[in-house]
Amino acid sequence: MMRRFDMDANDLDGATRYFEERAVQGLFEGYAWSGRVEALVDGDGAPWGARTVSTDSAGVDRQSVYVLASARGRGHLSRYVADAAMPFVTAPGCDLEDFFTKRGVPYVVAGRFTETREYRAVATFFDGRRAARSGVDYMHHIDEGLAVLRDVGASDRAWRAWCLHPLVQADEALAEAYPRVAELTDDPRVLALAMEYRNVANACLSHRAIASASDIALGPLPEVAAMLRADKVQNYKDFLLHHRDTHPRRAALDRYFRLWLERLEVSRDDFARLFCALQPRPEKVSLEAVEKG
């Protein structure tokens, strides 16, 4: 099974895949990836790493460098940062904070939320699994959903409950999680939100006949409504990109998502904006282009 973040890539393609996955994760902190990856070479022209650039929510460009597995321990990164003018962005799992700090290199750490027990729990639950039809990593649903929660200004508890929802939504998953539920979160209100999300979402799945948007009950908690918005926006985006013309139930699913978005008061303009924002690569497909086929 493929690991989501390949920390041992030995070529530019492997490093690019690594940057692509990190770019999806960067969405929920407002990072926009340039999509450009350049090889870093030594004095003899031999590649030792790769470099890319992302722009943070304040408009600041920050670079990330990936050192190829076969080139580590040879001082390449130390020599590179000594002359680097652009600040860096790194992630908690890269273990570069001490390295940058000791050398006085300007940097920020993106993705601190990934260190929460709820995020770690869903990452372990999915364990690199991908959707059968599209091949998309299931963790994209979590990361892109978090980006929607960021967009609507949802609470930290909503973020953490969003991470837990796959562990409790299906009956089989809930039964598996129940014996270790105390390990999943340290806040009972987070668990309450995840369970209420299960209640509301499962009451209106895509196989249920829905006459109108008013048939959809959202429940009493605003945090759950925000989580539902994250779910339906992200799922509809993936449906349009990967299944709109091929899924055997495409007409019914399209109507299902449209009714949900109407009930959640997500306007077409809001969805069109998020549809593009949730695509980390710069060559984004617009909603209008998809609808025109």
Name 248's Cβ contacts closer than 8 Å, sequence gap at least 6: none
pLDDT tens-digit profile of 230-289?
999 999 999 999 888 776 788 889 999 999 999 999 999 999 999 999 999 888 899 999
In this structure, are residues 210 and 259 in contact, taking their beta carbons and an 8 Å threshold?
A: yes
For 211-233, b where at least 16 C-beta lie within 10 A, e where not — what string? eeeeebeeeebebbbbbbbbbbb
* 27-59: pLDDT as tens digits: 999 999 999 999 999 999 999 999 999 999 999
Claim to verify: residue 165 and residue 269 sit in the same structural domain? yes
Q: Report the share of the chain in percent with pLDDT over 70.
A: 98
Give per-residue pLDDT as tens, 181-220. Answer: 999 999 999 999 999 999 999 998 877 788 899 999 999 9
Residue 103: name the closest of 86, 125, 81, 118 by CA. 81
Mark whether 70 and 54 lie in a shared domain.
Answer: yes
- Report which of 235, 222, 57 is spatially closest to residue 144, judged by C-alpha positions: 235
Are 106 and 136 part of one and the same domain? no
Confidence class for position 3, pLDDT limits 50, 70, 90: low
On whether both 60 and 39 belong to a single domain, the answer is yes
pLDDT of residue 291: 86
Confirm whether 175 is domain-assigned: yes
Across the chain, mean pLDDT equals: 94
Say how far apart CA 82 and CA 78 lie, in whole Å.
6
Whether 251 is in a domain gets the answer yes
User: How many structural domains are present in the chain?
Assistant: 2
Instruction: Identify whether residues 145 and 256 lie together within a single domain.
Output: yes
Q: Taking the complete model, does pTM exceed 0.85, yes or no? A: yes
Containing structural domain, residue 34: 12-112
Whole-angstrom CA distances from 127 to 2, 160, 226, 244 are: 9, 18, 26, 27
Same domain, yes or no: 95 and 132: no
Report, as an integer, the average pLDDT of 163-187.
96
Residue 24: band (very low, low, confident or very high) from pLDDT cuts 50, 70, 90: very high
